[in-house]
Chain A
Amino acid sequence: DTGVSQDPRHKITKRGQNVTFRCDPISEHNRLYWYRQTLGQGPEFLTYFQNEAQLEKSRLLSDRFSAERPKGSFSTLEIQRTEQGDSAMYLCASSLVGATNEKLFFGSGTQLSVL
């Protein structure tokens, strides 16, 4: 069990640029989640996949945000035309649906700074 892996750990970008983050879940997990955490707040749900299907995306913050999980394994989160308000920690988590007391395992996150 190598845990949930996220890349990069840190990203600094200029306003207006596009950024993409990658998440590799725990290999046998079929659910993958994206959360965002800003300073002083708890993680905020954005979207999730079950296998390759994106089953909930209404909580994505705007149409500048999109996520994919093309083969049901790793996932990417893209933010287009970044704004300073996008600066946050982006967390990925995975879980095994159907497990007793299903719980989320989080990665270390990608810290985004938009200048």
Chain B
Amino acid sequence: DQQVKQNSPSLSVQEGRISILNCDYTNSMFDYFLWYKKYPAEGPTFLISISSIKDKNEDGRFTVFLNKSAKHLSLHIVPSQPGDSAVYFCAARPGAGSYQLTFGKGTKLSVIP
């Protein structure tokens, strides 16, 4: 039973346009969410996070939106750059200090120059 779902295995976007990556979760105990980016042969790198008390968090070109009632979050990248091409993982945990992250399967983003 997947508690964190990324239903799009891949996404292609033109350079300069917006990339929107989606994530759904089923566990209502989750209240802290993170996005990680992963290049081939490297470990995941933290990108941005959001607590359930917020509905939006922004860091430069990256914005994460959280809709708690829909149990849905999304990552917006604007403008998209070729260097953003990577696999993006959504992760969640029950509380900011909880030890265990539950990851989705990832979405492979390709930004086309």
Binds A, one of B11-19, B39-47, B70-78: B39-47
Whether B43 pairs with A48 at a CB distance below 8 angstroms is no
Contact size range, B:
20 to 34
Quick check: is A42 within 8 A (CB to CB) of the other chain? yes
- Residue of B with least CB distance to A48: B99
Q: Which of B25-63 contact A (CB under 8 A)?
A: 32, 34, 36, 41-46, 49, 51
For the A-B complex, the count of residue pairs with Cβ-Cβ distances under 8 Å equals: 57
Q: Which residues of B contact A42 (CB under 8 A)?
A: 4, 89, 91, 103-106
Quick check: is B69 within 8 A (CB to CB) of the other chain? no
Provide the main secondary structure of the chain A interface: loop
Quick check: is A106 within 8 A (CB to CB) of the other chain? yes
Q: Which of A25-77 contact B (CB under 8 A)?
A: 31, 33, 40-45, 48, 50, 55-56, 59
- Nearest first, the 9 A-B pairs at minimum CB distance are A42-B103, A106-B43, A106-B44, A108-B43, A45-B100, A103-B46, A43-B103, A107-B43, A42-B89
Given contacts A33-B99, A100-B96, A103-B34, 14 further A-B contacts (CB under 8 A): A4-B43, A31-B99, A41-B106, A42-B103, A42-B104, A43-B44, A56-B100, A98-B97, A101-B51, A101-B96, A103-B49, A104-B46, A106-B44, A107-B43
Give the A-binding residues of B (Cβ under 8 A).
Answer: 4, 32, 34, 36, 41-46, 49, 51, 89, 91, 96-97, 99-106
